[in-house]
Amino acid sequence: MCGIVAYIGHQKAFDIIIKGLKRLEYRGYDSAGVALQNNSSLNLYKKKGKVADLVSFIGKKDTNGSVGIGHTRWATHGPPNDANAHPHVSGHKKFALVHNGIIENYSVLKKELIQRGHQFNSDTDTEVLIHLIEEIHTNSKRKLTLFEAVRIALSEVIGAYAIVVINKENPNELIAARKSSPLVVGIGDGEFFLASDATPMVEFTKNVVYLEDGEIAQLNLDSGLKIKTIENQEKTPYIQELEMQLEALEKGGYDHFMLKEIYEQPQSIHDSMRGRIRSSKGLVSLGGIKDYEEKIVNAKRLIFVACGTSWHAGLVGEYLFEELARIPVEVEYASEFRYRNPVINEDDVLIAISQSGETADTLAAIKLAKEKGATIVGICNVVGSSISRESHCGSYTHAGPEIGVASTKAFTAQVTVLTLMALMIGKKKGTISTQRFNRLLVDLESIPEKVESTLKLDKSVKEISNIYKDSSNALYLGRGINFPVALEGALKLKEISYIHAEGYPAAEMKHGPIALIDEEMPVFVIATKDASYEKVVSNIQEVKARKGKVIAVVTKGDREVKEIADYVIEIPSTDDLLVPLLATIPFQLLSYHIAVMRECNVDQPRNLAKSVTVE
Ligand code: F6R
């Protein structure tokens, strides 16, 4: 969702901002804009469309200045058009603001401001905020700095925000603040960067401060970085070192980030396990949850909350934890959980799964459960993200930056961490035999290599993609721990190729979806050799009896399914509990190839945002 980049220092702000906004394109947006301070004037450029459209619109216009703010907008209040694009300016045109989030009480504030003579040029909540700041700055009884005016304005605001404010008359300063939307400050040598995540600043500085909820920052070239809470308490900036590498943010020879990320999985799964597992010693240890291990072991139940692909990882986690640690698990859509007045006890452990660590619904679910006394475990990919900071403990997935909007390597990393966690808790609880535990460790360690060989199937998956690229519908079927893989396969296909797809537990097919099957319908089935193999074979027969086309993911060497399916994709054999880590790969590749063949925008599918920071 909306992306923010701002700069103040000695370099040309425009170049840094545009490059940064391009790096944030993965978040999803529909318009872009910049405001640049130069010689006491504020040059404002905004355009519906991509950052490239903004750049060509600006053409040879004045882009000088070493202070500026930039934004990519994902429309919430008002359609995507030039007027609604950010930055928005105050009535007297001295201040401009970029904003990520939603001001919930904007209409009340807007009415009051209109009564005081303010005029608005857009449909946005953001424009209301900059007018409110101007109103407070201009009409306060005592003379206020912009920093103070922003702080007071934010105390009147209900909602979520990350904002940056620029002042036409002060080239030395930017003001920024956050609540429930991310904002990172980069500290360079005589310069500051601000962005929604650290990617726009990675080549300039390794020193960053992640603003906390309810904090406001003054970035001043003379006096440095000053942070206060909205309640006016001074805070000492906590400077962290950025571990991100520039190469991780580039395509590295691949046509798309999604393909690169699919191919990174042998490494990313390995990275998720690094230092946490040693099969030769029978060891699994996740340092980040060690202090809460007892609490998890004694939990009456685990509640997984997540959205989208991360929710699918949670479903895999349900099978893992129930099987290995014998703890009852509930898997909840965060958006439903938070509004349901759920029963939560102090003995409950809530496990929040999120790639970005910024998903608004997941964050709200955490806060709710925390208030009710539950222990919160975060499984996040983005280091320093809001969910990781709101959790009592947790484990990073260490998959590296995921830029493609469709989640791939983050999913397998989440499943890997959940497997490690279930093994660690199961061992401590004594619910898993030593033999099974040791065998699973060995199998888990060999997963990266098996993912590598699964990726070698790419050519045949591409051929299958070519056959089904023009389908209007598809079904994905799986049983047991592979049911979530079917859901994930269907989600990948619909989100990037816009083909309607549904995932079902294979046996549920005859309770409805079977009516859809005809000779046009591809049915993708996970039919690996496990406890439900024979039952899945029967489900395949049911599809074939109705002339459906079956494409089955099977265990290498399978004969039975090969005889009845139209196509098979043979993946390496592994423990039943680890099959999702392999079976999901062909579906990722299939969605990718079909999307490319249908000329869809693979990395930035329509209407989608990478980081969903509004509910
Ligand atoms: C699908 C996808 C989304 C995300 C969902 C949650 O490919 O990426 O469904 O999984 O928006 O996002 P995170 O994991 O960042 O909380």
Per-residue pLDDT of 122-178, as tens digits, reads 999 999 999 999 999 998 888 899 999 999 999 999 998 999 999 999 999 999 999
608 has a pLDDT exceeding 90: no
Which residue from 182, 271, 175 is spatially nearest to 230, judged by alpha carbons?
175
CB atoms within 10 A of CB 590: 27
Closest to 5 (Cα-Cα) out of 182, 212, 216, 139: 182
357-381 burial by CB neighbour count: b if 16+ within 10 A, else e?
bbbbbbbbbbebbbeeebbbbbbbb
pLDDT digits (tens, 9 = 90+) for 447-471: 999 999 999 999 999 999 999 999 9
Res. 519: pLDDT tops 90: yes
The more confident residue out of 249 and 603 is 603
405 alpha carbon to ligand 1 midpoint, in Å?
8
In the prediction, which pLDDT does 221 show? 97
Is the separation of the CB atoms in 514 and 542 below 8 Å?
A: yes
Alpha helices in 482-546 (DSSP H): 483-497, 533-545
According to DSSP, the residues that pair with 549 across neighbouring strands are 522
Four-CA torsion 164, 167, 172, 176, nearest 10 degrees? -20
Rounded to whole angstroms, the Cα distance separating 69 from 13 reads 8
pLDDT at residue 296, as a whole number = 97
Q: Name every protein residue with a CB atom under 6 angstroms from any ligand 1 atom.
A: 307-310, 354-356, 359, 362, 406-407, 491, 495, 611-612
Both tokens assigned to 568: 């098979």
Residue 76, pLDDT score: 84
**Which pLDDT score, from 0 to 100, does residue 429 have?**
96
Mean pLDDT over residues 210-238, rounded? Answer: 96
Is the distance from CB of 348 to CB of 300 less than 8 angstroms?
yes
Q: If you measure from the C-alpha of residue 613 to the centroid of ligand 1, how many angstroms do you get, rounded to a whole number?
A: 11
Atom of ligand 1 nearest to the CA of 609: 11
Separation of CA 307 and ligand 1 centre (Å): 6
Q: How far, in Å, from the CA of 407 to the mean position of ligand 1?
A: 6
Asked if residue 39 has pLDDT above 90, the reply is no
- The residue to mutate among 257, 312, 356, 491, having the most atoms of ligand 1 within 8 angstroms of its beta carbon, is 356
- String of b and e for 278-309 (b: at least 16 CB within 10 Å)? ebeeeebebebbeebbebbbebeebbbbbbbb
Q: Ligand 1: which atom is nearest the Cα of residue 382?
A: 15
Residue pLDDT, tens place only, 380-395: 999 888 999 999 999 9
Look-up of token digits 């920093």: 147
Residue that the structure tokens 């006096």 belong to: 223
Atom 4 of ligand 1 has which residue's CA nearest to it?
308
- Of 531, 526, 533, 542, residue with least CA distance to 586: 526
The reply to whether the predicted model has a pTM over 0.85 is: yes
Tell me what pLDDT residue 382 has.
92
| pLDDT in the model for residue 204 | 96
List, in order of start, the domains of the chain with CATH numbers.
3-247 (3.60.20.10), 253-445 (3.40.50.10490), 455-601 (3.40.50.10490)
How far apart, in whole angstroms, are the C-alpha atoms of residue 14 and residue 63?
A: 6
What percentage of the chain has pLDDT greater than the value 90? 91
Which ligand 1 atom lies nearest to the CA of residue 387? 16
Q: Tell whether the model's pLDDT for residue 614 goes beyond 80.
A: no
Rounded to an integer, what distance in angstroms lies between the CA atom of residue 490 and that of residue 477? 9
In the structure, what pLDDT confidence band is assigned to residue 610 with cuts at 50, 70 and 90? confident
Task: Tell the residue nearest (CA) to atom 3 of ligand 1.
Answer: 308
Place of tokens 């608005």: 120
Ligand 1 atom nearest to CA at 612: 11
Question: Residues 14-38: what's their mean pLDDT?
Answer: 94
Q: What value does the CA radius of gyration of the chain take, rounded to a whole number of Å?
A: 26
Residue nearest to atom 9 of ligand 1 (CA): 308
Atom of ligand 1 nearest to the CA of 307: 6
- pLDDT at position 348 over 90: yes
pLDDT tens digits for 319-345? 999 999 999 999 999 999 999 999 999
Give how far Cα 266 sits from Cα of 263, 422, 445, 585, Å.
Answer: 7, 21, 11, 11
In this structure, are residues 57 and 47 in contact, taking their beta carbons and an 8 Å threshold? yes
CA of 488 to the centre of ligand 1 (A): 11
Q: C-alpha distances in angstroms, 264 versus 147, 413, 448, 599?
A: 44, 11, 10, 23
CA 308 to ligand 1 centroid distance, Å: 5
Whether 1 shows a pLDDT value over 80: the answer reads: no
What pLDDT does residue 103 have?
92
What is the overall mean pLDDT for the chain? 95
CB atoms within 10 A of CB 341: 8
Q: In this predicted structure, what is the pLDDT of residue 126?
A: 94
Active site members = 2, 610
CA atoms within 13 A on the CB side of 388: 17
Sheet holding 500-505, edge to edge: 500-505, 473-478, 522-527, 549-555, 567-571
Whose Cα sits closest to atom 16 in ligand 1?
Answer: 354
Question: In degrees, to the nearest 5, what angle opens at C-alpha 335 toward C-alphas 331 and 340?
Answer: 80
The answer for residues whose C-beta is within 8 angstroms of residue 250's C-beta and 6 or more apart is none
Residue 613 confidence (pLDDT): 79
| Secondary-structure percent of the chain, ordered helix, strand, coil, rounded to 5 | 40, 25, 35
What is the number of alpha carbons within 13 Å of residue 297 lying toward its C-beta? 16
Do residues 153 and 129 make contact, with C-beta atoms less than 8 angstroms apart?
A: yes
In this prediction, residue 75 carries a pLDDT of 87
The structure tokens listed for 135 are: 């109103």
Mode of pairing for the β-strands spanning 473-478 and 522-527: parallel
First to last CA, the chain: 11
**Per-residue confidence (pLDDT) for residue 611, from 0 to 100:** 80
CA atoms within 13 A on the CB side of 427: 19
Asked whether 410 and 588 are in contact (CB, 8 A), the reply is: no
The DSSP 8-state label assigned to residue 211 in this structure reads: P
Residue 612 — pLDDT band, cuts 50, 70, 90? Answer: confident
Cα–Cα distance measured from residue 184 to residue 174, given in angstroms and rounded to the nearest whole number: 13
Mean of the pLDDT values across residues 43-62?
Answer: 96
Q: Is the model more confident about 507 or about 614?
A: 507
> Nearest Cα to 334, choosing from 317, 311, 355?
311
Look at ligand 1, atom 11, and give the residue with the nearest C-alpha. Answer: 308
